[in-house]
Amino acid sequence: MFKKNKHGIQIKSAEQLDKMRAAGLVVGRTLQLLRESVRPGMTPLDLDAIAEKAIRDEGAVPSFKGYQGFPATICASVNEEVVHGIPSDRRPLREGDVISIDCGAILDGWHGDSAITMAVGEVDPKLTELMRVTEEAMWRGIAALTVGRHLSDIGYEVERYVRSQGRYGIPQEYGGHGIGTEMHMDPWVANHGKPGRGPRFEPGMCFAVEPMVNLGTDRTRVLSDDWTVVTIDGKPSAHFEHSVAVTDNGPWVLTALDGGKARLSELLGEKAATDGKTE
């Protein structure tokens, strides 16, 4: 029932992709709600409660909760926290913070996984630029997901874009992944490297593309909670992620409300079809 190619990468049927899209939209709508909700004085735990309710109200299940013992619906990583921050109510968000929210949901057995970094109130222009560079690097990586290109082209495009924008750090030990009937499936997807390596993309493959970009060094460490990844130099970090399907008509961004159409039509022109299944 679940087909894999010779490299062990899960290949979804058109019907299965529609289910992935439904799960992806739950995540996309949840993140949109969080984007509209965040403000100084809220805590990451407040955002976690909003996310859990939004996901469950759609009949879906938060996939992070209980994943390897993770206690919450979202990962909430503030400022120098890169990824995997545990939402708490210890420190309310302050004007000038940036917060990365990573969110996953399961609907009808299929997974969606997406992340955004948001400004809390007014932030330093350097942080606005960091978020822009990270999000655009994600889109450049997504645009590589066309039939016939290679797995390593994602990381190549991500890194090439980030390097063209200034001296940023790209943590090498974290990256994207295949996604489908599990959140984390083969293969792992680097955010750096050479082009033209690894399996070629085929219709029905799905990947989470998720660059992390640091304002300073690429070096990170994990806090004593065994989850939270922080930059070694304490400088801020950003993280954006979408779950994306490879189709004959181009990349279909399952966790984007418009299927990726707006941004990809600028990057890819004619090749940026999204099957018309947009919101």
Tell me which residues touch Mg ion (CB under 5 A): 102, 113, 115, 208, 241
Between 241 and 273, name the residue whose CB sits nearer to Mg ion.
241
Specify the residue, 144 or 189, whose C-beta has the smaller distance to Mg ion. 189
Separation between Cα atoms, residue 111 and residue 206, nearest integer Å = 10
Q: Which tokens hold the place of 176?
A: 């994207």
Least distance in Å: CB of 13 to Mg ion? 23
Q: How far apart are CB 210 and Mg ion at their closest, in Å? A: 5
CA distance 189 to 206: 11
**Nearer Cβ to Mg ion, position 46 or 210?**
210
- Give least dist CB 122 to Mg ion, A: 27
C-alpha span between 103 and 110 (Å, rounded): 14
Cα–Cα distance for residue pair 234/142, rounded to 1 Å = 29
* 3-class SS of residue 82: strand
Minimum Å distance from CB 242 to Mg ion? 9
Phi, psi angles (nearest 5°) of residue 160: -60, -45
- Spatial neighbors of 48 by CB under 8 A, at least 6 apart, are 72, 73, 74, 76, 87
State the nearest-atom distance from the C-beta of 167 to Mg ion, in Å: 26
Closer CB to Mg ion, 130 or 212, in the complex: 212
CA–CA dist 205, 139 (Å, integer): 17
